[in-house]
Amino acid sequence: MRIATWNVNSIAARLPRLLAWLESAKPDVVCLQELKCATDAFPPEVAELGYEVAAYGLGRWNGVAILSRVGTEDVRRGLADEPVFDDAAEPRAIAATCGGVRLWSVYVPNGRDPGHPHYAYKLRWLEALRATAAAESAAGRPFAVLGDFNIAPTDEDVWDISLFAGSTHVTEPERKALEALRETGLRDVVPRALKYDKPYTYWDYRQLAFPKNNGMRIDLVYANAAFADTVTDAYVDREERKGKGPSDHAPVVVDLTR
């Protein structure tokens, strides 16, 4: 089974690239983030390629989905006891069981700035994710949380840690939240890099970040033993960050023996 995660940064803008990639990479399941479309506006062209679509979006911002050629059972939208921001729930998490594997596609809040209310919301949201993951892990089946976590797990996961002083994505509370998530029984499935020595997954559109490889590893795959022990390969498909009209994220692809 081939499972991938990709922040497409607008499903409408990235649809031609997504369709071409689905046909070339042939993933069985894809977790998408940052759809920027409502649930009922998800492009029908994806289903025409043989994928069942479980989507969760409200319109202009956020939005997540799971695409599957091996079925989508027990679909769930939103985390247990998920916090709200500005009195509104944001579409940032969706789950489905696909071919016997339980998957969550997540788009963790950015946080904006450590002093901003969105940062406190991010930490509360991560606690809700931890509680949800703990409950899912207890079921014993293969299980993984995939998506854009908006956190670099270590200093090695950013191109120059000295440039991030006082910034989100690398603060101690955020990293402690990731540690708490791992303590539910999950492992960080670190992909290999297809070029250079760092498996970055995100590069800003500005300041030639991609050609300079000034990137970050913030798109993560956290999996329990039943999932992680069957991984045969994991890589960042860096080619999808090239060319005309790419997302600022590249897909992370994981191959399983299942």
What is the domain-level CATH number for residue 116? 3.60.10.10
- Catalytic pick from 119, 169, 202, 249? 249
Decide: helix, strand or coil at residue 176.
helix
Q: Tell me the torsion sign for CA atoms 54, 96, 218, 212.
A: negative
Provide the pLDDT for residue 30: 98
Residue 152 in contact with residue 222, Cβ under 8 Å? no
Could you tell me the two tokens for 80? 């247990």
Helix 117-137, helix 172-182: angle, nearest 10: 10
Binding residues: 7, 34, 148, 150, 248-249
202 an active-site residue? no
pLDDT at 138: 87
Contacts of 226 (CB under 8 A, 6+ apart): 140, 141, 142, 143
CA 68 to chain centre: 15
Least confident of 56-60, 186-190, 240-244: 56-60
Check if 249 is active-site: yes
Rounded to an integer, what distance in angstroms lies between the CA atom of residue 214 and that of residue 44? 35
- Asked whether residue 195 carries a pLDDT value surpassing 80, the answer given is no
Residue 70 domain boundaries = 2-256
Confidence of residue 60 (pLDDT cuts 50, 70, 90): confident
Q: Active site residue: 56, 107, 119, 200, which one?
A: 107
239, two tokens: 């080619």
Residue 67 and residue 47: Cα distance in Å, rounded? 8
Tell me which residue of 63, 180, 167 sits closest to 119, measured CA to CA: 167
- Catalytic residue among 51, 56, 121, 148, which? 148
Question: Is the CB of residue 18 less than 8 Å from the CB of residue 8?
Answer: yes
- Indicate the number of domains in the chain: 1
Q: What mean pLDDT comes out for the span 16-28?
A: 98
- Say if residue 89's pLDDT is above 80: yes
CA atoms of 178 and 136, how far apart (whole Å): 16
Q: What pLDDT, on the 0 to 100 scale, is given for residue 59? A: 84
Known binding positions for Mg(2+): 7, 34, 148, 150, 248-249
> Region 246-256: what's the mean pLDDT?
98
Strand, coil or helix: 20: helix
Q: How confident is the model at residue 258 (pLDDT cuts 50, 70, 90)?
A: confident
Name the β-bridge partners of 4: 30, 253
Q: What share of the chain is helix, strand, coil (3-state, %, to 5)?
A: 30, 30, 45
Q: Report, as an integer, the average pLDDT of 48-63.
A: 95
107 is catalytic: yes
Within 8 A by CB and 6+ apart from 176, the residues are none
Farthest-apart Cα atoms in the chain, separation:
47
Residue 104 has pLDDT above 90, yes or no: yes
Whole-number percent of the chain with pLDDT over 70 = 100
Q: Are 238 and 250 in contact (CB under 8 A)?
A: yes
Mean pLDDT, residues 203-221: 97
pLDDT averaged over every residue in the chain: 96
